[in-house]
């Protein structure tokens, strides 16, 4: 007689449909739309992770990542994992139990940094600022006075709020205290300047799925010579075997020592995404994000909607907008997705149900998408009882084609 366990292992292949999510316009906090060329690269033949051809691809990916990070750091590689794996990589390699670590928190991802420090036994010095604002450098200065942090960490582009954190003063304070400066560039890299050598950043990490416009699954990281020295002079082993860069770098370096099987086809896709960025040029890409951001904000404000973050510290690729009173957050987002195929994000943490997060990242950051989103949002808001003020189209057009 067939038992329940046997029944659970019997499947009919006809019950499983082909994967076809339909058309989507990704204008949320990530992932972003992936160009056809990048998707096509994934379909290239899978080969061995020590195949000479793949090793040459690895070298090219490192060269292109150094270009994107604007660095000469030798240890610049993609970690096999999403942006959160990059975050953990930086902390577990640089922080040992008992090390003091100052973490600036003004949103969800600063909070995640602080959580990791606690989990790996670091002594957390937490610097909090109101969500939707930037960290005041004086707060950091006061928090570490008389202390000796090994690392000062901050989020450059806080995806939960849309805040762009100025880094120059924080970097100076960190280095004056003898600390390494660690920066989350998950949302900023590829959409705004992230020149880590010029910014004196010692450790940086990002993700492929935002302004790089690759599929999720890899996290570019870069360690300065000072960060590498700190890693090499650890007294205790790195708590994560998988993310231990003292071993992983031997695979990406000249020794080519096996550590783990690289996600080969994902690295193909990253190479193509980086090649597209190089073709466009960094400054042109950054300007495209700035221009489309200004147009989107002009349209939203013309409709009578209010932005969460002051203009001086707004990110160009993540736009947080207040939800009008009486409008249901989830209904609007579901309608945009189901009727128009457009994805935007809801708020996180204390902003859940209070703001929408509209992304303009990488391949999604295009003029036509700004017009499509605004037209669709205006229509959906009307069904929710909110009548947008007129003039959004004219306001956007004025940004793109200003009068002489």
Domain ranges of the chain: 36-279, 281-400
Q: What is the pLDDT of residue 146?
A: 95
What tokens appear for 135 in the block? 């960290």
Taking residue 254's Cβ as centre, other Cβ atoms within 10 Å add up to 7
pTM of the model: 0.95
Task: Summarize pLDDT for 355-403 with one digit per residue, the tens.
Answer: 999 999 999 999 999 999 999 999 999 999 999 899 899 999 999 998 7
Q: What is the pLDDT of residue 9?
A: 78
Name the CATH code of domain 281-400 (choices 2.30.40.10, 3.50.50.60, 3.90.550.10, 3.90.1150.10): 3.90.1150.10
Task: Summarize pLDDT for 232-261 with one digit per residue, the tens.
Answer: 999 999 999 999 999 999 999 998 999 999
Q: pLDDT of the chain along its 404 residues, tens only?
A: 555 555 667 889 888 999 999 889 999 999 999 999 999 999 999 999 999 999 999 999 999 999 999 999 999 999 999 999 999 999 999 999 999 999 999 999 999 999 999 999 999 999 999 999 999 999 999 999 999 999 999 999 999 999 999 999 999 999 999 999 999 999 999 999 999 999 999 999 999 999 999 999 999 999 999 999 999 999 999 999 999 999 999 999 998 999 999 999 999 999 999 999 999 999 999 999 999 999 999 999 999 999 999 999 999 999 999 999 999 999 999 999 999 999 999 999 999 999 999 999 999 999 999 999 999 999 999 999 999 899 899 999 999 998 76
Q: What is the pLDDT of residue 11?
A: 87
The H-or-E segment that residue 268 falls in is helix 264-280
Same fold, 36-279 and 281-400: no
Fold of 36-279: 3.40.640
Q: What is the pLDDT of residue 293?
A: 98
- List of residues 6+ apart from 99 with CB closer than 8 A: 122, 123, 149, 150, 151
């Amino acid at each position: 007689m067939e038992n329940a366990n046997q029944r659970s292992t019997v499947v009919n292949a006809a019950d499983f449909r082909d994967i076809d999510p339909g058309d989507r316009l990704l204008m949320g906090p990530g992932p972003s739309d992936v160009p056809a060329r990048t998707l096509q690269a994934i379909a290239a033949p899978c080969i061995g992770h020590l195949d000479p051809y793949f090793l040459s691809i690895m070298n090219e990916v490192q060269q292109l990542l150094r270009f994107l990070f604007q660095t000469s750091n030798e240890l610049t590689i993609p970690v096999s994992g999403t942006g959160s794996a990059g975050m953990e990589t930086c902390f577990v390699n640089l922080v040992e139990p008992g090390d003091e670590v100052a973490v600036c928190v003004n949103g969800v991802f600063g909070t995640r940094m602080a959580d990791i420090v606690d989990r790996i036994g670091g002594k957390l010095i937490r610097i909090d600022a109101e969500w939707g604002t930037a960290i005041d450098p004086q707060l950091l200065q006061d928090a570490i006075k008389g202390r000796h942090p090994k690392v000062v960490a901050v989020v450059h582009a806080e995806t939960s709020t849309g805040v762009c954190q100025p880094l120059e003063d924080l970097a100076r304070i960190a280095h004056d205290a003898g600390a390494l400066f660690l920066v989350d560039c998950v949302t900023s890299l590829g959409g705004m300047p992230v020149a880590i050598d010029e910014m004196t950043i010692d450790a940086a990490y990002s993700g492929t799925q935002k302004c790089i416009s690759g599929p999720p699954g890899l996290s570019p990281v870069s360690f300065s010579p000072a960060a590498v020295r700190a890693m090499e002079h650890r007294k205790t082993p790195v708590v994560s075997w998988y993310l231990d860069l003292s071993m992983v770098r031997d695979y990406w370096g000249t020794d080519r020592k096996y550590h783990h099987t690289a996600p080969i086809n994902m690295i193909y896709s990253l190479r193509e995404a980086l090649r597209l960025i190089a073709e466009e040029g960094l400054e042109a890409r950054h300007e495209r994000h700035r221009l489309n951001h200004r147009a989107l904000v002009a349209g939203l404000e013309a409709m009578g909607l209010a932005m969460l973050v002051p203009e001086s510290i707004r990110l160009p690729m993540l736009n947080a907008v207040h939800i009008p009173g009486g409008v249901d957050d989830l209904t609007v987002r579901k309608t945009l997705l189901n009727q128009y195929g457009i994805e935007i994000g809801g708020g996180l943490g204390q902003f859940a149900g209070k703001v929408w997060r509209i992304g303009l990242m990488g391949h999604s950051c295009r003029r036509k998408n700004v017009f499509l989103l605004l037209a669709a949002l205006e229509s959906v808001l009307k069904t929710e009882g909110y009548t947008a003020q007129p003039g959004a189209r004219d306001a956007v057009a004025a940004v793109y084609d200003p009068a002489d």
